Amino acid sequence: MNRAVVLFLLSTLIFGTSLVILSNHWFPIWLGLELSTLSLLPILNFNTWSRGNEATLKYFLVQAFSAALLLNGATLNLWTLGTWNITNTMEPFVHSIITLALIIKLGLAPCHFWFPDVLSGLTFNNGIIIACWQKIAPLFLIVNLNSLILSELIIICSLLSVLIGAWGGLNQISMRKILAYSSIGHMGWISCTLFFSENAAILLFIFYLLNNVLIFCICNTSNLYSLSSLSKINSNPTNSALFTLALLSLGGLPPLGGFINKLIPLSVFTSNNSLLIIPFFIAGSLISLYFYLRVTFNTSLTLFPQNSLGLLSSRSSNPSTQLPIISILTPLIIWGLLLIPTFYLFI
């Protein structure tokens, strides 16, 4: 694809998301969501292979359906109240329609079925856009509509997302599906925290973006499409160490930053006397940590079957490719130690 065309599509994608974030009017919000979807479709369909075409078509149908629901809800709100302003949504039926549209766009359970299928049919570079960038606009809409939409429905869907995201990733061997179910689980954490503390939810989302972008980039450069291909990363010690640390941090293993990232929501739930939902989140976190540990075990400790030449080449040490100590400690220092002071803001 021509570089100018790619730049135009990416700028349109950024403009559509910015339009959603900065607007208080339903029509520009719908327009921004449609611009983001339509500009993303040629990028997703750049590699013309059957699985990618299927994933692109599924993504288009789901996003078009959710945007149509959102537009219908805004039109009903205009009919009943005579305004396009997003702060004047009062009808319960309109609340339900708009909440359902945002749930579909975020991929929260039980409307999560499209997300693993779509992500497993795309490249890792396109997966970054679907799993990270395209989550920004729906989350900011939930922030703006925090006091208006059905918080109980979002909280129930968040609980289901944490549990389904944990159980769904247990029996997967595809890295893209593992990352998809991981994203579903983390969206559950972020969405539920959002109704108690917006600052804490934004912090969780930033941490989610940092880890996911790093993991997707490493998977793309090392061609890690399944668990059996994780031995390829051993040829690059830097990628292997960063991949392991990022996965364990995403799973919430102390003392990495992800552990503080799990303590912040739990402290927010405790301070708001929402103790009944805490066991569900802890159970989902422990189950998801299991398949994170399985991936890191296969990356670091298991020597997959290979021929003698490959065995000798993987065991040969090149001093120029050895991992510096600073590269190992960078995720621990930046994502762990910088998050520790922020933890006390939410206690």
> pLDDT digits over 48-86, tens only?
677 888 889 999 999 999 999 999 988 888 888 777 888
CB-based burial label for 305 (10 Å; 0-12, 13-18, 19+): exposed
| Token representation of residue 138 | 């729906």
For residue 42, the number of C-alpha atoms closer than 13 Å in the C-beta half-sphere is: 14
Residue 322 DSSP label: S
- Per-residue pLDDT at 323 exceeds 60: no
174 forms bridges with which residues in the sheet? 226
- Note the Cα 22 to chain centre separation in Å: 22
Q: For residue 146, which of 74, 196, 188 has the smallest C-alpha distance?
A: 196
pLDDT of residue 161: 93
Calculate Rg over the CA atoms of the chain.
Answer: 21
| Token representation of residue 153 | 């429905």
DSSP structure string for 176-230: HHHHHHHHHHHHHHHHHHHTT-HHHHHHHHHHHHHHHHHHHHHHHHHT--BGGGG
Compare 243 and 327 and report the one with higher pLDDT. 243
- Range 130-148 average pLDDT: 85
Give the model confidence (pLDDT) of 160-185 as tens digits.
999 999 998 888 888 899 999 999 99
| Token representation of residue 170 | 């247990």
Q: Sign of dihedral through CA atoms 204, 99, 142, 342?
A: negative
CB-based burial label for 300 (10 Å; 0-12, 13-18, 19+): middle
Could you tell me if 295 and 227 are in contact, meaning their C-beta atoms sit under 8 angstroms apart?
yes
**Cβ contacts of 245 within 8 Å, gap of 6 or more:** 256, 328, 331, 332
Confidence of residue 340 (pLDDT cuts 50, 70, 90): low
Instruction: Give me the amino acid identity at 172.
Output: Q
pLDDT of residue 231: 75
Q: For residue 303, which of 294, 315, 293 has the smallest C-alpha distance?
A: 315
pLDDT of residue 307: 40
Could you tell me if 108 and 159 are in contact, meaning their C-beta atoms sit under 8 angstroms apart?
no
Q: For residue 23, which of 150, 141, 194, 143 has the smallest C-alpha distance?
A: 141
CB-based burial label for 150 (10 Å; 0-12, 13-18, 19+): middle
Other Cβ atoms closer than 10 A to 41: 15
Could you tell me if 24 and 85 are in contact, meaning their C-beta atoms sit under 8 angstroms apart?
yes
**Cβ contacts of 61 within 8 Å, gap of 6 or more:** none
Measured CA to CA in angstroms, residue 209 lies from 39, 80, 194, 226 at distances of 21, 39, 16, 22
Could you tell me if 339 and 207 are in contact, meaning their C-beta atoms sit under 8 angstroms apart?
yes
- Per-residue pLDDT at 318 exceeds 50: no
- Range 251-266 average pLDDT: 82
Give the model confidence (pLDDT) of 120-135 as tens digits.
888 888 999 999 999 9
Instruction: Give me the amino acid identity at 148.
Output: L
Q: For residue 310, which of 228, 225, 211, 231 has the smallest C-alpha distance?
A: 231
| Token representation of residue 99 | 């909440």
Q: Sign of dihedral through CA atoms 112, 261, 289, 270?
A: negative
Instruction: Give me the amino acid identity at 61.
Output: L
Give the model confidence (pLDDT) of 202-243 as tens digits.
888 988 888 888 888 888 888 888 887 877 777 777 778 888
Confidence of residue 32 (pLDDT cuts 50, 70, 90): very high
- State the Cα–Cα distance between residues 36 and 18, nearest whole angstrom: 10
